[in-house]
Structure 1
Amino acid sequence: MNSNRLFFFLGFILFSLTASGQQVKNAKYTLTGNIEGLVSKAGYAKGKNFTAGYVYLSGIVRNGAYTTDSAKLTDGRFIFTGNVDEPSMAYIFCKPGERNSPVVLMMFLENSNISVTGKYSPDENSVKDPQIKGSAVQDEYAGLFENANNISGRTEIRRQYEVAMKKNDTAKLAALGKEGTAAMEKYTDYMREYTSTHPASFVNLYLLSDYIPREESGLTELENELKKFDKQLQSSFLAKNIISAIADQRKRLQIGPGIQAIDFSQPGVDGKIVKLSDYAGKYVLLDFWASWCGPCRAENPNVLKAYNTFNKKGLEILSVSLDENRAAWLKAVKADKLPWLQVSDLKGWKNEAGSKYMIQSIPENFLIDPNGKIVAKGLRGEQLHKELEKIFHRGDITSR
């Protein structure tokens, strides 16, 4: 992930069933942080309102659900206390300044005394060289991936690559590229061997949850992999989430090309109710986005270009924002110069239209024909223009 992005990912932790199963009853955690230079400002970013002087901790698994906590931030220091049902990847975050993106530090949370130290980098909006101590599962994770990188040769290749980059040694860079491909295969084999021989490893379960296949064949394979885990892990909160995600993806597969679009109504910028069915008899691109979504904002010029090219031929666009903050939504619409109708119920990820279309990530869109059927989805970049060109080039011009 690009260093300029807001997320600083540490990865997911490997641990045995003894370390990762149900946490000891009445056990608690104390998470102490000292991040040099970190401050917390009030404001709205990434769909959340931030309070000045506070840092947040999300991803806490408690009483069979995810929850979020907050703590006072003073001179870069903070303390969280509580308990978790089972280890989970948690997110420490706050809004450090005027940026539209919060700073996020990911770490594994378990019932133990954990300390987090590091230094905040304003330029990269990230915590540099974080040190996390007191978590046995984090230590095991670090050891596993360090071994995988060293044994495969990826660590040394990375070192040599940095040297070659500084010297602009193109021949060496090309050679390292080939070596890197071979090293990646060794790395993958190493990790695959471990995962296949450790059915009690919680990290294996997480790695399954990290990527839910889009197609039915992949979903069936994922279900079969779940059956290989120890019974205790199969009954964990994380395993139940994977099962739920599989069911949701199967429903999502039913909302695609050839399926009748689902009607909905939401208020527009002026407060008037707009229905998707208002566009009956026309080609309409149903677009889901949000003001805080970087990829959405980056894609908006492409969508605008498509609108300017094909609107006169019959294309309409209806954008649904997953914003919660009305001012931020309207500001983004104006800044990106979006001339088509915009609607939102300002419920964020709980947007009713988004729920009907089972929106899991944005940007997302659905191209709907004059008969109300979905003909394509997930069109971005040149793919959007090529699909529209095919439709309108063959003369599928709608009534205006």
Structure 2
Amino acid sequence: MKIKLILLLLCSTSGVFAQSNQSYLIQGTMQIDSLRNSPRTVKKVYLSHEVNGEEVVVDSAVVTNKAFSFRGKAPKFMSPYHISGFDNGTIQVFLEPGTITIQPFDARYPVGAHVKGTPSNDVFDEYKEFGEAGIQRARVRMDKAFAALPADKRNDEKAFYPYQRSTYYVNSLMHRAEAMKFASQHLNSPVVLYIIKYDLFRFFPPKVLEETFMKAMPTAMRQHPMYAELENQLRAANLAEGRLAPDIEGQTPEGKTLRLSDFRGKYVLVDFWASWCGPCRREFPVVKQALQEAEGAVPFEVLSYSIDSKKPEWTACIAKNGLSQPHWTHISVLKGWGSPAAKLYHVEAVPRTVLISPEGYIMGFDLRGEQLINTIRKLKSGELKPKMAGAAEGNGAMFAVKDNGMLAHDAQSASYRELSVAHDKQISDGIAALKREKGGQYVTSAEGKAAVERLRAVADIDLMTAQLQWLLEHNDAVAYPVLVQRDMLPRFNKEYGRLFVNAMAPEIQSSKEARDLDNCVKAMSLMQGNDVPNATLYLADGTQKQLNQYAGQYVLLTFWDAQSMGCREEMERLQTLYDAAQQGKEKLTLISVSVDKDETAWKNTLKAWHLERPNWVQARNNEADAHSAAKLFGVNHVPTNFLITPDGKLISMTLQGEELVARVKQILSGDLYYQDETPKK
């Protein structure tokens, strides 16, 4: 059955978007027509969809006897629309040819309406029902967790809370797993593109999305505008030199719609600007000079994208400054900072320029003045050539995962290992089915190779989903932390790492493997205001301590190297802080971690530099530890200082020199650099 489904997805390319010139009819009926927050009833409803980031109403209908209807010509491709007019949400409708029926619903809760009658609406309604069933399954899991506890814990709210908490996070992650499973089973429906965009996009790093869901899409789905939107979002998430540039569009002053991709085959300087921007206007002569420099030698275009919001101001500036020139095109959507293109290119200030190669790859950012002119000259001479980066990045494996044979000998993990076996079999069976269906030589053709690539991507989605579900169903397994760190963290966005930690059953949260997972997640999210990893400190006296043993005080954690002159100067500054800290009634603890590889040389340096002092913690980074302090804190140069609050949150990771001394002295004087901003009740 699985093989037949895969072949259907791979080969079915007709009929998905057929009958695009036919009309649609939407019919809706309300069981209850009153608003939720008002005694008034719904009198009129509106049909709208998103255009350039803004919801645009395209039709309206009067409600008569609790019923309404819309008629019109369906768009070429299925498109998501909303029906509004309520005070508590909207109804999601997918516009396509046919009769779309909104089953009797409660106008106080329009989001819960069930929409059926056409292929896409039927699939989305199935997805909604799948989600509603998932809520019921979540309740069952919570009840099961409660029932499994001894009576004394069930009746003790404090004792029950850890189990309730872990089950809550299991349910949260299980919702994503169920969405992944549904998407994998409905890849021949454009609704899956919608599910990926709104329910799954933030769950994965761009690399994982590209190599699974995007590659798994049948050829017909890749023609849909939402597929192009997803590709654009992925490019925007990986905005860097050597990567494909997100496509953008806008209207010329004459109203013609143009896209960046229309200029393929030429070098393009995308220039974000505004008529009110003085620095932008100062760049106009430079842009003119760049065009003159390139004329006849390099196929070079300037695409100026204005973030103005008023057309008269935009066009007047173009005319006044003589910007209507050959090879200089102007577009805008007149939405100011809310322009979709500005969001895609992370424009937070103007001017902002991006140089695009003829193949559509980013070559450089913020080229202005002489730098822009020199770049054009290098293009002319051949000194500068486009480069292409590799695939989009994932999280990668931050730390080596050592299970000490646990996974190979753990009986409970045997069924988890079988998932990989099933994955390999799914691929081999699928390839065999393709050969039977199309002939043995088919898989060596370009079309056949693409089919095999899609088949592998589907199998990868299914494996990822099955592994995630297994872990959530076995969150008390001793191997859970190791498997999450090895198989889950590299595949999912780092902000979801904390959910995996919180989903662990209380019984295993105190294990070394659980602590390693927790540290790994903290290391992945190391930034100001977040919890710092609880690193193991290998002290000069041969003992070990955990960083969290110094909780309750401010901590200055410094990584240094005896061979570095900059480190010597920094350690001299720390000595002045040490003297101040000794008078500060233990408000601050200094912890210095050496990255020296030679232990003897390190200890000699401690003596030579007079660093062996009471209450100044001296430790050495243990490279043999897969979760060493330097790895956990991402140290790639020395000296590096981390200023930490008494409750273990990071204040700063960039302070050095006299600025560091000044900030720490503020803390010791009571003029706190960091203060708890939690609202007081």
TM-score by length of 1: 0.46
Identify the structure with the greater strand proportion: 1
Higher RCO structure (Cα 8 Å, ≥6 apart): 1
TM-score by length of 2: 0.30
Identify the structure with the greater helix proportion: 2
